[in-house]
């Protein structure tokens, strides 16, 4: 019973620190954030911070690692349930759902004060996922299509976060698929329906 209470407290403390870090990263670059201001914002003792992390960079690295582990596990589960991706829509919807669930940290990490290495890890995780539908779309542009699609997809995610995620993950997934398959014509269709 004692371990469960401690685990909950540890998780709660780490969550408060993570939220506070995301909030600070929206205001300034990571190298300008101090442990003191982070712990004050999170209302956590500095010594508690050092129980879990060496410094701010270690904390950020652990948050990113945990996010990507969760992302990969969820992708594997989606793939297992569907026997592969039913279609590109399920894949893109999944990614938007994941971003929505981790909105605070994704907004900070993909924003102007974010972490460039996170962006690269995110691109690589999408590339490694290899959804079936994207392979059929790759034939359109060969070797350059997938990097172009991933970069554009991340740009759309960044704008969606900046716009406070007003459209649903499903709507965003349909829009991205339209862009990939129909180009700018889909943009005109979406504009006329809004």
Q: Say what the pLDDT of residue 148 is.
A: 80
Range of the domain at 155: 2-193
Q: How far is CA 80 from the centre of its chain?
A: 21
> Could you tell me the sign of the dihedral formed by the alpha carbons of 153, 118, 29, 35, in that order?
positive
Q: Say what the pLDDT of residue 2 is.
A: 46
Residues of the chain falling short of pLDDT 70:
1-6, 79-87, 130-143, 183-194
Domains in the chain, number:
1
Q: What DSSP string describes 85-145?
A: -SSHHHHHHHHHHHHHHTHHHHHHHHSTTS-HHHHHHHHHHHHHH--HHHHHHHTTTGGGH
Instruction: For residue 91, give the CATH number of its domain.
Output: 1.10.357.10
Q: pLDDT (tens digit, 9 = 90+) per residue, 101-137?
A: 999 999 999 988 888 888 888 888 877 776 555 555 5
């Amino acid at each position: 019973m004692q371990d469960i209470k401690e685990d909950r407290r540890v998780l709660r403390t780490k969550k408060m620190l993570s939220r506070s870090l995301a909030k600070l990263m929206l205001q300034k670059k990571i190298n300008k954030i101090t442990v003191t201001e982070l712990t004050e914002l999170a209302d956590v003792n500095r010594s508690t911070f050092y129980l879990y992390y060496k410094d701010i960079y270690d904390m950020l690295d652990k948050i990113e690692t945990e996010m990507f582990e969760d992302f990969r596990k969820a992708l594997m589960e989606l793939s297992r349930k569907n026997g592969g991706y039913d279609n590109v829509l399920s894949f893109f919807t999944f990614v938007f759902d994941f971003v929505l669930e981790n909105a605070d940290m994704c907004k900070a990490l993909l924003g102007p004060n974010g972490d460039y290495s996170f962006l690269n890890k995110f691109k690589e995780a999408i590339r490694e996922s290899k959804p079936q539908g994207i392979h059929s779309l790759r034939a359109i542009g060969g070797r350059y299509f997938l990097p172009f699609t991933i970069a554009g997809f991340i740009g759309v995610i960044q704008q969606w976060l900046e716009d406070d995620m007003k459209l649903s993950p499903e709507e965003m997934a349909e829009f991205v698929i339209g862009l990939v398959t129909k180009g700018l014509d889909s943009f005109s269709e979406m504009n006329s329906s809004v």
